[in-house]
Amino acid sequence: MLSKSQIGFIKSLHQKKYRKEHKIFIIEGIKSILEFISSNYQVHSIYYLAQFEPLLPQMPANIKLFEVNNAELEKISTQQAPQGVLALVNTPEARKIEPAVLRNKFSIVLDGVQDPGNLGTIIRTADWFGFENIICSLSTVEVYNPKTVQATMGSLSRVNVFYQELPDFFEQVNLPVFGAMLNGTSLYEVNWGKEGLIVLGNEGQGVTEEVIKKITLPVTIPRVGTAESLNVAISAAILCADISRNLQK
């Protein structure tokens, strides 16, 4: 049984303002929760329907457990069809990425991606292909948005997501910068090499002018048909898949 104040607190975390204030975000579903428990994230508390208790592992003592009923879960859940278990997770301290960490690998840079589902899908795809780091412009949607978290399908627990002022960031790292653009070198002719940054822009506007200046090679996914553009998460995936294939040659 949750108190009114507990329910009010968790519901407040549906909003970015309160996630930021309390440094806590919501994850849902037993699989995601198990992945976060065994990650570097600190799980704060877990709210579960009775029938999900057997699925919960032995918990560290600092994770608080609350059995809830359906009505309570519906109130605190961010989803139309709650998944039976919900957890609160502490947001890690915002970190700056160390340029040295990005050597000898590929990382994704997002310049103003706005749709939370797109960001989440990009994180999930990065996790599949072993891209460890995603660097987001300050204009990119918040990674702790429930729709983002949901779309990552647990991959948020494994992929590092940084928020940085982008033009500054490119000054600090000295790596090839590939940009997904509508006019550039054909994907089929790109020599990726062994390290670099892959820049993807906003859903409507693409990459900002100031970031375009930092791109060393604009890359285009050749179009055969008539669509005006590709979804940004789709473009990211096609580039990641090509890089991954190239690295395994």
User: CA nearest 196: which of 134, 125, 126, 103?
Assistant: 103
> If you search the block for the tokens 């994850």, which residue do you land on?
27
In the complex with a second copy, which residue's Cβ is closer, 172 or 229?
A: 229
In the complex with a second copy, which residue's Cβ is closer, 2 or 102?
A: 102
In whole angstroms, give the CA distance from residue 74 to residue 82. Answer: 7
Residues that bind a second copy (CB under 8 A): 31, 117, 121, 124-131, 151, 153-155, 158, 187-188, 221-231, 233-234, 237-238, 241-242, 244-245, 247-248
Kindly state the smallest distance separating residue 6's Cβ from a second copy, in Å: 29
Contacts of 134 (CB under 8 A, 6+ apart): 107, 108, 109, 110, 122, 123, 126, 159, 160, 161, 162
Residues in the chain: 249
Kindly state the smallest distance separating residue 246's Cβ from a second copy, in Å: 10
- Amino acid at position 118, single letter: N
Kindly state the smallest distance separating residue 182's Cβ from a second copy, in Å: 11
Q: Is-contact 27 152, C-beta < 8 A?
A: no
In the complex with a second copy, which residue's Cβ is closer, 5 or 248?
A: 248
Token pair for residue 54? 């057997």
Kindly state the smallest distance separating residue 231's Cβ from a second copy, in Å: 5
In whole angstroms, give the CA distance from residue 43 to residue 20. Answer: 16
In the complex with a second copy, which residue's Cβ is closer, 32 or 77?
A: 32
Kindly state the smallest distance separating residue 54's Cβ from a second copy, in Å: 21
In the complex with a second copy, which residue's Cβ is closer, 212 or 238?
A: 238
